[in-house]
Amino acid sequence: MTKQSNILVIGGTGKTGRKVVELLKNQNQNVRIGSRNESPSFNWDDPNSWQKALEGMDKVYIVYYPDLAVPGAFESIQGLIEIAKKTGVKKAVLLSGKGEKEAERCEQVVANSGLDYTLVRASWFNQNFSESFFLDPILAGHIALPMPNARIPFVDTGDIAEVVVEALMNETHNGKTYEITDPNALTFEEAVNIIADSTGRDLKYQAVLQEEYNTMMKAAGVPADYIWLFDYLFREVLGNPNNHVITSDVEKVLGRKATDFKVYTMKTAKTGVWHQSIPQSV
């Protein structure tokens, strides 16, 4: 029987966090969801909320919103780790970004903390196409994105969650860094075409310059800090050839191959999420 632990899942209602919560509860772990709507609440923007959320916890899964690359993330991770140590947390698993220099600074805070730790670097999520910023363009049937030649080993959030839970529950992963990717690297156009095949819809991909994409986001009312983040992620992350490398770390940790993007699209198509009516602007 797996020993029961008290585990704080920061971002426990998010893309990976909610799946981590479900998997941990299936193992009869005592899970506390780190969210501003929970009690005790956890809010990255309110450092005074961190201690209560961490008190009594043995382990913590750390997801920083919106991304470890943004200004202030490094200082927040530093502060959180200090409080975690003071409250008796023994282990931290950090969700990081594959090939993000700023994220790697945050990783070092965790790695040098004296806590047991595992670092999980993820490529871009499959679910960005079904739960996040690529969904509306797909519903509209027209997806305009920069970096047309970048080959991206998208990764399924279900795979990330399983790796995170394995890292939290198995001490053999202490001190390890895993890079989680899909078995294949795809361009945006190839990904859109696979979604089109899975849904039977006519979807068009259009390559645009980064500056054009930034202008489109501004016109759509996207906040300036998010425009900065997307610009960073496209230029610095997708523009880095090292990020196009496929790994076998999912198989190494879980003993099975990572979820293929086509498997994700076939499963997601059955939910009907890609056949919704797009909200009309007033």
pLDDT for the residue numbered 281: 46
CA triplet 168, 268, 153: central angle to 5 degrees?
60
Q: Which residues contact 255 (CB under 8 A, 6 or more apart)?
A: none
pLDDT per position as a tens digit, 132-151? 889 999 999 999 999 999 99
Pairing of strands 142-145, 204-207: parallel
Q: Give residue-wise pLDDT tens across range 233-258.
A: 998 888 888 788 999 999 999 999 99
What is the per-residue pLDDT for 238?
A: 87
Predicted confidence band of residue 1 (pLDDT cuts 50, 70, 90): low
**What top-level class would CATH report for the domain 6-123+156-181+245-259?**
alpha beta
pLDDT of residue 98: 87
| pLDDT beyond 80 at 277 | no
pLDDT higher than threshold 70 for residue 279: no
User: For residue 107, is pLDDT > 70?
Assistant: yes
- The rounded mean pLDDT for the chain is 94
Give the model confidence (pLDDT) of 37-63 as tens digits. Answer: 999 999 999 999 999 999 999 999 999
pLDDT > 70 in the chain, percent: 97
